[in-house]
Chain A
Amino acid sequence: MSCEPWQCAEVAATKKANPITKPEVAVALIKRAVHPILIVGSNATDRYMEGRQLIDYLIDFARASKVPVVATAHMVNEFLKRGFEPAAFMSAMDIGNRLADPEWQGLDGKGHPDTALFVGLPFYMEANILSGLMHFAPELKTITLDNMYHPHASWSYPNTTLEDWAKNLTVMTQKFEGGN
């Protein structure tokens, strides 16, 4: 487990993500959130762990945690194929831009998200959006559920193996009511 940026040159400056040392930390952060959202990118079908695709783990987690999902790129199609309807689908830039707008009242119009979970975008693209939010949405807590350390998030898992990643996502799902 290493808290070095997964892509070596994506170094942080004066602010660096807190490491999520165990999945319970992430769960506590999410349970504390009033308006959390989960943003899922196009790598969700490219990453396999223990014979399952990342998207399948995320559907389990979203169902258990009830965190609304925003599917970016064409991922809505992949969710729908699996019988899961995301709360919204839009481009990664659009959701990033909305999160940076303090007046935006969220997907349901009930309040600006206070916690945004990111997972499965191309590393560099996710890093850029997280950097934008670090600077222009300082009140927003950003958490990545990837197995790659993202220095510009508020909280990030360290670089971890696929096996540990699968374990982390499974534990997170189980810690929510409705998780198996």
Chain B
Amino acid sequence: MTTKNVRMKIDEMKTSTGLIKNLEISIGKVVDDSWTEPMGPTPMPSLTTLRDWDMKLLNRYKPFYMPACDLCCLCTYGKCDLTAGKRGACGIDMAGQSSRIVLLACCIGAATHAAHSRHMVHHLIEKYGRRYPLDIGGLNIKVEAPITRLVCGIKPATLGDLEEVLEYAEQQITQALAVAHTGQEGNNLDFESKAFHAGMIDHIALEVGDIAQVSTLGFPKAEPEAPLVSLGIGTVDITKPVIMCIGHNVIPSVGIIDFMKDNSLTEKLEVVGLCCTAHDITRYYNRGRIVGPISWQLRFIRGGFADVVVLDEQCVRSDAFDEARKVHAPVIAASEKNCMGFKNRTDDDTDEIVSDLVSGKAAGVLILDPEKVGEVAVRVAQQVAPIRKKLKNLPSLDEIMQQAKTCRQCNICQRSCPQDLKLPQAIKAAGEGNLAPLTDLYEYCIGCGRCEEACPIKLNIHSYIIKAGEKFMMEETNYCRVGRGAVQDVEIRNVGSPIVLGEIPGILAVVGCSNYPKGGKDVYDICREFASRRYIVVTSGCSAMSAGSYKNAEGKTLYEEFSGEFTAGGVLNVGSCVANAHIAGAAIKVANIFAKRPLRGNYEEIADYIHNRLGAVGLAWGAYSQKAAAIAAGFWRLGIPVLVGPHGSKYRRMLLGREDKKEDWEVYDARTGDKVNVGPAPEHLFQTVETKEEAMVTIAKLCIRPNDTWKGRSIKLSHYIDLSKRLYGTMPTDIDLFVRTTADIPMTMKDEIIKLLEEKGWKETVIPDPTLLPRMIRKMKE
């Protein structure tokens, strides 16, 4: 039920008894129940409300733990050795401890998004007022906040309504975090259930953040053909002063852009962004540029392109200031969550701050007023740019070759490199005058700088790679589609039937960070493969940038080659991290708008629908953060499988189904109450894949759902088999588990598959109206 605070403010009123000034009255909350949809069974669920649903999933997709540490060091009983079945002093075992760490990661992620959204909502309410209407797609969107409606049972209409949603989210994050304290939960599956809860809350926080900024800041409102924006450092006009914004919270960047607009400076300076701030800059400002994914901060700071570096929040390197100082770029920290040790200059005179930064008296400042950030950043950039442009930032090729000769070939750089790159050989070759091996590493280096930290003679190995790859860096001139925001209701109506029936073979969401095993090209290749196969491909965050960073044979980027519509063969960039809410939102809207399932506070039914019918898969090829863990957890609770690249194995826990355990794959047929074996569809809920080839085959397989019609199943199987044959060189060995009737078999493979089925003793089965929830059975069998 929607509740609203009533506040009345009177600046000045003359009455018969006198003059009243600055009167403010608050009368708490009144109920606004204009939403006619009846409330579902689980509005604003607590930690355990959806536990039964979680356990259904967790009993099918059991955790496989891969502890990153054998010890628990969280309390003073410890350190406790939990190796191979031992329990710690508090009684916890390794399964409990591992799931506890998963919960902690998800809570950190959810708290980060909630805090981000809280800051934005607070700021935007201050600027636009509580009653500012939410509008994320005009007449094209009636279901404005599907996650919020589903989880909270609230239909938010104004900015002020979002505060109530955030209050609930913050309360639940506190509850979930408390579970991780010593002596609370002990059972690993209960920890996992709470991690799912934190993930669901994370999705609420994402949604609040994005609909607040879309509604107020003039971002594209669910526009399929949102404009294309320049992507890559090569698109930046470095003859102009350059302000580089790093992070996720666009509010300080808005201050910069507004100051430039107000002072007719938009053609005089460049504003560029790294990571999600970049997406949101370009959603706000058509002259903004996306430099690249967050992992490449060092690359772009050391390259010296930025005259001023503005840091907001999330995923900002802790040494960003030290790095910027090396290239004489003043730094402005603009978030309470990332003060960088700077003096708070928020209340100081602007001229004084500018003077201190330009003169070098202060190398960095903390400014918590976005408008002041804007003025200071612009004025400082204008003044320092002419001086900075004369500076040399990277070592010359000659210097690299000379310094490389001092390398001891101790291998410690390679052994510290997450990618195991052959750095010693490359440096040896450089010392011999051959820079090609260093250049070759440019694409694969994720830019962490651990090689330099480890080098006993302090060679600037990462700078060598940047310099050797400088030509590639400056040729990075690509396009990304500006983050479009939500999916329109009409788009959902158009594709609802073919998706649920399986005729559109699946929705692939390629999301998350850029900790890629072999560069960003894999992301492009995967997106292009599935868009060409007429899957719906959705991108966000750093993956959306990597997807746009390569070109086809005609010189077109992915976003130029494919439409931005939510339809078969579309490639949509929804936007920044918080815009991931629209991907979950689209899945929920299919259940609600197309299938007419009630939404309000009705989580289990909607998740059950999505899990059994919607062939959606998330791929976080380079996921690295706790936020990515929380986002994934939100999808797990909705029953949507998530794949991660090889570095994702470091999340320490997979949720794996067992296709060899037939008994795990039963669902109810909602028509009769019969239990029907539907095979491993989908096989996993969280899975690491090792190579892009494996990712492609697995994606096709994970799009299979129990509800597929024979035609849909046939289409899905043809993609699965085709990719297996091409990339694995052989027919999948589990086809018999996915063929229910001979009509499911792709026409062109009939003979081959029937022979296989006969060998396996396959028997025909029925296509049920699938559900995991007994209460959804319409007619129980006598």
Q: Chain B residues with Cβ under 8 A from A180's Cβ?
A: none
Rounded to whole angstroms, the CA-CA distance of A13 and B97 in the bound complex is 15
Q: Give the one of A6, A94, A128, A132 with max B CB within 10 A.
A: A128
Indicate if the CB atoms of B730 and A7 lie closer than 8 Å. no
Does A102 sit at the interface, judged by CB under 8 A? no
A168 within 8 A of B: no
Chain A residues with Cβ below 8 Å from B689 are 73, 91
**Residue among A81, A104, A124 with the most chain B CB within 10 A?**
A124
Which of B84, B416, B650, B730 touches A15 (beta carbons < 8 Å)?
Answer: B84
Beta-carbon contact of B656 and A15 below 8 Å: no
| CB proximity of B307 to chain A, nearest CB, Å | 36
- Interface: B751 (CB within 8 A): no
Q: Which residues of chain B are within 8 angstroms of A121 by Cβ–Cβ distance?
A: 690
Q: Contact residue range for chain B?
A: 35 or more
B728-A89 in contact (CB<8A): yes
Q: Are A74 and B70 in contact (CB under 8 A)?
A: no
Q: Shortest CB–CB separation between residue A171 and chain B, in angstroms?
A: 24
- What is the minimal beta-carbon distance from B239 to any residue of chain A, in angstroms? 42
Q: Which of B649, B687, B698, B729 contacts A125 (CB 8 A)?
A: B649
Is B84's CB under 8 angstroms from A138's CB? yes
For A77, the chain B residues whose CB sits under 8 A away are 693, 727-730
CB–CB B690/A91 < 8 A: yes
- Closest CB-CB distance, B686 to chain A, in whole Å? 9
* Partner among A42, A93, A128 whose Cβ is within 8 Å of the Cβ of B650: A128
A128 near B416: Cβ-Cβ < 8 Å: no
Over the window 472-506 of chain B, the binary record of Cβ atoms lying under 8 Å from chain A Cβ atoms (1 yes, 0 no) is: 00000000000000000000000000000000000
Choose among A7, A15, A74 the residue that contacts B693 (Cβ–Cβ < 8 A). A74
CB-CB contacts below 8 Å: A82-140 with B: 88-89, 91-94, 96-98, 100-101, 104, 121-125, 128-129, 131-132, 134-136, 138
Interchain CB contact under 8 A, A132 and B687: no
Complex contact A14–B70 (CB within 8 A): yes
Q: Does A41 contact B (CB under 8 A)?
A: yes
Point out the residues of chain A lying under 8 angstroms from B688, CB to CB: 91-93, 125
Given contacts A41-B690, A77-B729, A128-B652, is CB(A8)–CB(B415) below 8 Å? yes
Q: How many residues of A contact B (CB 8 A)?
A: 42
Is A143 interfacial (CB 8 A cutoff)?
Answer: no
The contact of A7 among B65, B69, B82, B415, by CB within 8 Å, is: B415
Q: Name the one of B62, B81, B418, B656 contacting A13, with C-beta atoms under 8 angstroms.
A: B81
Which residues of A lie under 8 Å from residue B728 when comparing CB positions? Answer: 74, 76-77, 89
The answer on a CB contact under 8 Å between B67 and A132 is yes
Whether the Cβ atoms of B420 and A7 lie closer than 8 Å is: yes
User: Does A12 lie within 8 Å of B70, measured CB to CB?
Assistant: yes
A76 nearest CB neighbor, chain B only: B728
**B70 & A13 in contact (Cβ 8 Å cutoff):** yes
Asked if A156 lies at the interface with its beta carbon under 8 angstroms from chain B, I say no
| Contact partners of A74 in chain B: CB under 8 A | 691, 693-694, 697, 727-728
| Closest-CB distance, B443 to chain A (whole angstroms) | 15
CB within 8 Å for A124 and B646 given contacts A7-B420, A73-B689, A73-B691: yes
Q: Is the CB–CB distance between B698 and A8 below 8 Å? A: no
Of B70, B650, B730, chain A has the most CB atoms within 10 Å of the CB of: B70
Q: Across the two chains, which residue of chain A brings its CB closest to B94?
A: A135
> Which A51-99 residues sit within 8 Å CB-CB of chain B?
72-74, 76-77, 80-81, 88-89, 91-94, 96-98
Q: Is B1 an interface residue (CB 8 A)?
A: no
Tell me the smallest distance from the CB of B86 to a CB of chain A, in Å.
9
Asked if residues A124 and B649 are in contact (CB atoms below 8 Å), the reply is: yes
A15-31: which residues lie under 8 A (CB-CB) from chain B? 15
Contact assessment for B694 and A13 in the assembled complex, using a CB-CB cutoff below 8 Å:
no
CB distance from B654 to the nearest CB of A (A): 5
If A76-B728, A76-B730 touch, whether A135 touches B415 (CB-CB below 8 Å) is no
Taking a contact as CB atoms under 8 Å apart, the answer to whether B71 and A131 are in contact is no
A72–B691 Cα distance when bound, in Å, is 10
Could you tell me if A125 and B727 are in contact, using CB atoms closer than 8 angstroms?
no
CA distance A81 to B729 in the complex (A): 8
In the complex, B68 has a CB within 8 A of chain A: yes
B70–A128 contact, CB under 8 A?
A: no
Please judge, given known A-B contacts A14-B70, A73-B690, A136-B65, whether A80 and B658 are in contact too, CB under 8 Å. no
Q: Are A93 and B687 in contact (CB under 8 A)?
A: yes
In angstroms, Cα B689 to Cα A170, docked, is 30
Q: Which of A7, A91, A122, A135 is in CB contact (< 8 Å) with B687? A: A91
A164 vs B370: C-alpha distance in the bound complex, in angstroms?
60
A-B contact pairs, 24 of them (CB 8 A): A7-B416, A8-B415, A8-B416, A15-B84, A73-B689, A74-B693, A77-B693, A77-B727, A77-B728, A77-B730, A91-B690, A92-B688, A93-B656, A93-B688, A100-B64, A104-B660, A122-B690, A124-B647, A132-B66, A132-B67, A134-B70, A135-B65, A135-B94, A136-B94
Q: Tell me the A residues contacting B by CB distance below 8 Å.
A: 6-9, 12-15, 41-42, 72-74, 76-77, 80-81, 88-89, 91-94, 96-98, 100-101, 104, 121-125, 128-129, 131-132, 134-136, 138
The 3 closest A-B pairs by CB, nearest first: A13-B70, A77-B729, A74-B693
